[in-house]
Amino acid sequence: MNTSEWGWRGWHLPSVGGRFFVSEVRLATSEALRERLQTTIPAESYNTWFKQLTLVGCDGCSMRLAVPSRYVKHWIETHYQQELNAAAQALSPDVKSVELTVAETTTANRPQLLGDVLERVVSPPVRAEPRPSVTTVLPFSLDQFVVGPNSRVAHAACMAVVDKPALLYNPLVLCGGHGLGKTHLLHGLARAIQQRHPELTIKLVSAEHFANAYLAALRDRKLDAFRQEHRRCNVLLVDDVHFLAGKEKTQDEFLFTFDTLHQLGRQVVLACDVPPREIRRLDERLRERFQSGLVANLDKPDFDTRVALVQAKARARGLTLETPAAELLAYRIEKSVRELEGAVCKLAALAAAEQRALNHETALLALCELGYVREGPLTCDEIVAALSKRFGTSPDEIRSDRRHASLVRVRHLAMYMAKQLTRLSLSEIGQFFGNRDHSTVLHAIRKIERETRSRPEVREELLALRRSLGR
């Protein structure tokens, strides 16, 4: 009998034929290793994956451990190999590597782990050959997304999920109003994960599709197939999840789907119009789960971001848009990226059909035809509103009697532009601006005229204001 011994902090584990006897020392060592892991791994994850971890043997500086199934082995190697190595080295600094094997015991002779149960419910993520996980051609990519202050956190979170699915932000909830980029990020995320991790299965659906498919499965008695389809994926992305509000049975089904994926450590990404806490008639259990991850808001883009968006949409069509035209579209369309894209489409069609240049005039024509700018002379209210937005003061202050220097300058600009862009007389303009007489209006106009002749920045300022008004 060839016998060898391996020292381990004062313990000597007898080995015969390269296999350890089932001994109290071996069981004690296994328990010590599990205790180490319990200090570094959350209790829920420990109970799912490590509760039945046992010591099998050693070969020099390599430790061999047994786990109940191939699926548990894959999950630990993928997500917890570093923690496992550290725990083994804490017991014995001589250990350099840890190898996992699947125990040869039968299912009837060992306790059931949640990891084993989940393995039977969903297919394991390991495949012999990678295959595409999203069958449709996705129109958006993360590279095409124009990042601004309104979307920087959401975009960064998506990039982090691409690098490490299910490890950093799970679930990830993208929330914002219509046309602010949620669907773009969702589709771009699915596309990027597909390219970076072709072995992963990705399921991209809308909440409405999920609800309709669930009802169809109930009607046709195909719930098992429905659940396999939605619970076997590695990444589940659901758009417009607020659609589930008020649908109690569908919410229950989605809750079970969410919990199954989360227990498996699969990535879940959701998109909704408002933060989860503000979705009315949403099951409190779902609300808590959605709030447990990262909720990333997408707000309305600022002016500079809208200009960049317009130029990006034009480049995507192979067009070069002049800056004044891009600024005009960005100024007149504030709330929706989709509306900006529609305006670029209109401008491109006008330029192609009528052989027009992609300039300020063509952009103005496009806005007029889309109803964002009306033809004919402007009103003083429109001029004051534009100045109010640009200089951060209220229309009432511009028309008031206040004599603060910065306010007086804005008032003079407003009177000058009113004379240039309306059909009102000096007296009528003065009456609009706090019942001032025509000489006060004339003084303001002459002062701005002198400034335009001597100061180029004033001319540029007035030009920008005219463009913002579509003139």
Q: pLDDT tens-digit profile of 53-64?
A: 888 877 768 888
- pLDDT class for 465, splitting at 50, 70, 90? confident
In the chain, what are the domain boundaries? 3-121, 142-298, 303-370, 380-468
Q: Check: CATH 1.10.8 for 303-370?
A: yes
Close Cβ partners of 394 (under 8 Å, ≥ 6 residues apart): 388
Residue-wise pLDDT for 16-34, tens only, equals: 344 444 456 677 778 888 8
Looking at per-residue pLDDT, the higher value among 75 and 126 belongs to 75
Indicate if the pLDDT at residue 11 is higher than 70: no
Indicate if the pLDDT at residue 111 is higher than 70: no
Characterize 273-296 residue by residue with b for buried, 16 or more Cβ atoms within 10 angstroms of its Cβ, and e for exposed.
Answer: beebeebeebbeebeebbeebbbb
Q: Are 469 and 383 in contact (CB under 8 A)?
A: yes
The CATH code of domain 3-121 reads 3.30.300.180
Looking at per-residue pLDDT, the higher value among 227 and 138 belongs to 227
How confident is the model over 319-323, as a mean pLDDT?
Answer: 86
The CATH code of domain 142-298 reads 3.40.50.300
- pLDDT class for 40, splitting at 50, 70, 90? confident
CA distances to 8, 145, 400, 408 from 150, in Å: 57, 12, 34, 33
Indicate if the pLDDT at residue 338 is higher than 50: yes
Quick one: pLDDT at residue 355?
83
Q: Read out DSSP for 312-367?
A: HHHHHTT----HHHHHHHHHH--S-HHHHHHHHHHHHHHHHHHT--SSHHHHHHHH
Quick one: pLDDT at residue 241?
93
- pLDDT class for 114, splitting at 50, 70, 90? very low
For residues 132 and 140, what is the distance between their CA atoms, to the nearest angstrom? 17
pTM: 0.58
Q: Check: CATH 1.10.1750.10 for 380-468?
A: yes
Task: Lowest mean pLDDT of 87-101, 286-300, 306-320, 341-355, name the range.
Answer: 87-101
Per-residue three-class SS string for 369-417: HHCCCCCCCCCHHHHHHHHHHHHCCCHHHHCCCCCCHHHHHHHHHHHHH
For residues 263 and 223, what is the distance between their CA atoms, to the nearest angstrom? 20
Q: List the structure tokens of 137.
A: 């051609």
Residue-wise pLDDT for 392-450, tens only, equals: 889 898 888 888 888 898 999 999 988 888 888 999 999 999 889 889 999 999 998 99
- pLDDT class for 379, splitting at 50, 70, 90? confident
Q: List the structure tokens of 51.
A: 């509760």
Quick one: pLDDT at residue 404?
86
Quick one: pLDDT at residue 284?
92
Quick one: pLDDT at residue 471?
63
Of the candidates 108, 116, 92, 88, the one whose C-alpha atom is nearest the C-alpha of residue 100 is 88
Q: In what order do the strands lie in the sheet with 54-59?
A: 54-59, 62-67, 97-102
Quick one: pLDDT at residue 117?
44
The mean pLDDT value of the chain amounts to 81
Quick one: pLDDT at residue 359?
85
Question: How many helices and strands (H and E) does the chain possess?
Answer: 21, 11
Quick one: pLDDT at residue 24?
64
If you ran DSSP here, which 8-state letter would residue 123 be given?
A: -
How confident is the model over 97-115, as a mean pLDDT?
Answer: 60
